[in-house]
A and B are shown apart, each in its own frame.
Chain A
């Protein structure tokens, strides 16, 4: 028995009939063909499938597509605006925060969430925020640096915007 769901992904409204057992990550990958969101495990541990759903970091492998009915989702493909990289995307490049790139979308989306509620995290706060994201390549060193870069850049942008308003 399939059910109809409607949701917004990266600003685009979609509507599909899906089986209730379809996981959100497979809806994104196989139905919408947004393959930047990855699957690295079957125990909700690795975080490669991480997206932002209704403003919250979400492991899309641990949610049914039907649970996401009416949701607003941002995936890694929707992060850059008008071709301009998000400061965190830029940070990952500038700081060599990725190697094979497989965990990277999940890492970036987790950091987007982190900086939403903690714009100026300490090194330890960053490391703890990455508890649900595995990387086998980088030893996390440059991922931490990348997030620090993103945080600095974002607060710089904010203060310029403030100045501009003043």
Chain B
């Protein structure tokens, strides 16, 4: 990179930390506004039930109660919209039943909102909500995606026959894939469930909405990953209120992991109610409420077949998935199992024939949407399980089979991007590089010896591999639009140089743990050759940031950072004109480096601060130039970015109990150029442990009545500090060829790569002792592993 001033590639300590470590973080639930009121929801305890009657009479007379609204009161309001359209194979548009703000006719999942109670205090709202009497008629329900499409299954929506929102396919014609599988020397087949996950950001969702009748303006504080998107969806699609009179603020947000991307009914409802009562209304989810109302992740029922020739080269891949969408389409619900899943099934391999077929299904469960990785972990899981199982079945080494099948290295500049069978063009990659590095770090040969020695001991050892690719930096708007997105996916970067040379940057990305206030400031300070102390990154407020699409899909630096760079380029260009005028030179002769504008070949120069001051005190100033030094840019990427890597897990399995202990976890991730290695490492650590969580600990369990039986931390097992080892991270750098920073994104890599590595490791342990097992359902609880060992 040209013109570096020493901030890029440094593990600069985070500038945002001080407020968090001293207890001065500012989260939505910390806000109490003047004349604050509090809301509590009445929610369905049934998964599927007709609402016969709602009696609010007693509740309305209770102390402190201000208002109660039910489904009938909001029936005239539009439902919560879906932001992505997927079509049926025959071209029909997906079934998109209304997702009302409160249900009037029937409840479709446990937790569906039936009424909102607003009172002077949380206590009074709680008591009144308890006094709302709802009469239900329970209906038969269905929670499993595969069962839901069978004839005779209970129907979640009248206007979605067979509970099907869409069916969808991608890749080579199915006949070609079938023929390639038939001609294969070996076919590995796997039927499995990629279980439903509950995102569990530790900060529960929280909203505080207010209305000022004198200005007719609304303000919504929301624990959202993307305030502008919420404002757009809420104003344009749900409430029909003027967007320019609505301010949406996402202050500090305590983790999102996808679950805080979406526009939730409570946001729009609170805003509508605040207009009605003319006072601010706050609602913060209880954890038990979060479990049944935050959009969940994953939940695929899949059959996948991978063909190999006699040398272990992959010949074909056929995938059929039933994707559970829950009771309603969430903001990105249909996109996840299709365009973020099917498109990744090339993986890192040269597989010549691929076909993926996905049915999107309604069930009587909480909506399913993006959860860290979003579709890409599901795709990686299919591939990495099949490749490892195939290697086992063909008696090949799991690393060796991967080396054989990898796409050869390409830089995306002098060598073209790799065009896949499933609609993508990879930007740059060196896949064998990460696996080689991983094996070195692991000490593979040594471990294989230990594994053999352990076969006759109390604890088996297993080594599991996963090599993954993801599509990040979402996304080129035109491509996304062609695939069904109902929004653009560019980002906005606004750089305002103040007269004293201090720099305020307004980004449409939102930091809820990612450290943008540091990483983005490093980029700005580096490019402008100024101190990081002279830069501040502002985000999360529609009033100060022009526009933005928010943070998800590992996009912030690749897209948001690039937008900032565009604005910086404009500032430098204008700065050169100002400096040229003052230094009596031609703008073409001005160089900018290390914070100085210099006339080429001379020692005549002007500092960045002087130029800034001149821009605002334009006494000696070019006639045709506007004063000021302030630029905003939109950056729309030309392609996705494609981070990749290699994850290796080493586990011990207790023969007596089936208990799995994760002994080591090695990851080599290639996320392109790295601005702050400390932050990238941290992203990988956290992502890896979330992926480990799916493999070993977590999973939503619905019973036949549609009750989420583990809707609390007493039964839903979150990974804890004593469940995991230190994560042995390493990186390789293959720059992204198409964005100015050469970055690819690091937010989801850990989660995408890690889950199959752990599962493969447990299976490998069992295989080492001769157990004939193909699959163990996730999470791999002790009982499930022990049961598999009894075979």
Contact = CB atoms under 8 A, between A and B. Distances in A.
Interface string A131-153: 10111111111111000000000
A48 interface: yes
B454 interface: no
B514 interface: yes
A37 B678 CA distance: 27
A5 interface: no
Contacts of A19: 123
A99 B21 contact: no
Contact of A102 (B27, B257, B288, B685): B27
A93 B721 contact: no
A45 B13 CA distance: 30
A40 B724 contact: no
Interface stretch (A52-60, A62-70, A75-83, A157-165): A75-83
Nearest to A80: B22
B286 interface: yes
Interface string A77-97: 101100001000100111010
Interface string A16-31: 0001010000000110
A92 B686 CA distance: 15
A45 B714 contact: yes
Contact of A34 (B23, B252, B682): B23
B228 interface: no
Contact of A93 (B21, B513, B514, B689): B21
A102 B720 contact: no
B658 interface: no
B721 A140 contact: yes
A96 B682 CA distance: 7
A126 B720 CA distance: 12
Contacts of A30: 32
Interface stretch (B196-204, B445-453, B533-541): B196-204
Given A102-B25, A142-B682, 15 more contacts: A30-B32, A36-B24, A37-B23, A40-B203, A76-B21, A85-B22, A96-B13, A98-B17, A99-B513, A130-B721, A131-B721, A133-B721, A137-B255, A137-B682, A138-B685
Nearest to B682: A96
A42 B286 contact: yes
B21 A85 contact: yes
A93 B13 contact: yes
A134 B685 contact: no
Contact of A134 (B32, B202, B714): B202
Contacts of A138: 682, 685-686, 689
Contacts of A37: 23
A139 B25 contact: no
Interface residues on B, range: 35 or more
A22 to B, nearest CB: 9
B713 A139 contact: no
A80 B22 CA distance: 7
A151 B360 CA distance: 52
Contacts of A126: 721
B253 interface: yes
Contacts of A130: 720-722
B561 interface: no
B21 A128 contact: no
B310 interface: no
A141 B722 contact: no
A12 interface: no
Main secondary structure of the interface of A (DSSP, over half): loop
A77 to B, nearest CB: 4
B494 interface: no
17 contacts: A21-B123, A34-B23, A36-B24, A40-B203, A41-B287, A42-B287, A43-B287, A79-B22, A96-B678, A100-B255, A102-B254, A127-B721, A128-B721, A134-B713, A136-B200, A137-B255, A137-B682
Interface residues on A, range: 35 or more
B1 interface: no
Contacts of B544: none
Interface in B191-227: 200-204
B203 A93 contact: no
B296 interface: no
Nearest to B684: A139
A140 B287 CA distance: 21
B539 to A, nearest CB: 14
Contacts, number: 183
Contacts of B681: 96, 142
Contact of A94 (B13, B18, B123, B682): B13
Contacts of A96: 11, 13-14, 678-679, 681-682
A36 B30 CA distance: 9
Interface of A: 19, 21, 29-30, 33-43, 45-46, 48, 75-77, 79-80, 85, 89, 92-94, 96, 98-105, 108, 123-124, 126-128, 130-131, 133-144
Given A99-B514, A136-B686, A36 B22 contact: yes
A141 B726 CA distance: 6
B21 A108 contact: yes
Contacts of B455: none
Contact of A136 (B123, B257, B727, B750): B257
Contacts of A89: 21-22
A101 B513 contact: yes
> Which of A38, A94, A123, A124 has the most B CB atoms < 10 Å from its CB?
A38
Contacts of B287: 40-43, 46
B515 interface: yes
A139 B23 contact: no
Interface in B233-287: 252-255, 257, 284, 286-287
B422 interface: no
Contact of A139 (B26, B255, B284, B688): B688
B721 A144 contact: yes
A105 B30 CA distance: 14
B315 interface: no
B721 A99 contact: no
A102 B23 CA distance: 9
Contact of A131 (B25, B27, B722): B722
Contacts of B515: 99
B120 to A, nearest CB: 13
Contacts of B678: 96
A153 to B, nearest CB: 14
Contacts of B689: 138-141
B690 interface: yes
> Which of A30, A98, A140, A142 has the most B CB atoms < 10 Å from its CB?
A140
A93 B14 CA distance: 7
Interface string B716-741: 00111110101100000000000000
A130 B21 CA distance: 17
A42 to B, nearest CB: 5
A76 B722 contact: no
A128 B288 contact: no
A39 to B, nearest CB: 8
B576 interface: no
Contacts of A79: 22-23
A136 B202 contact: yes
Given A77-B23, A142-B685, A40 B123 contact: no
Contact of B21 (A48, A104, A127, A137): A104
A140 B513 contact: no
B712 interface: yes
B402 interface: no
Given A48-B202, A102-B255, A136-B201, A92 B23 contact: no
Interface in B339-377: none
Given A35-B30, A38-B254, A138-B685, A76 B202 contact: no
A141 B750 CA distance: 13
A100 B203 contact: yes
Contacts of A29: 30
Contacts of B721: 126-128, 130-131, 133, 135, 140, 143-144
A20 to B, nearest CB: 12
B512 interface: yes
Q: Which 6 A-B pairs have the closest CB atoms?
A: A36-B23, A102-B254, A101-B20, A139-B689, A100-B513, A99-B513
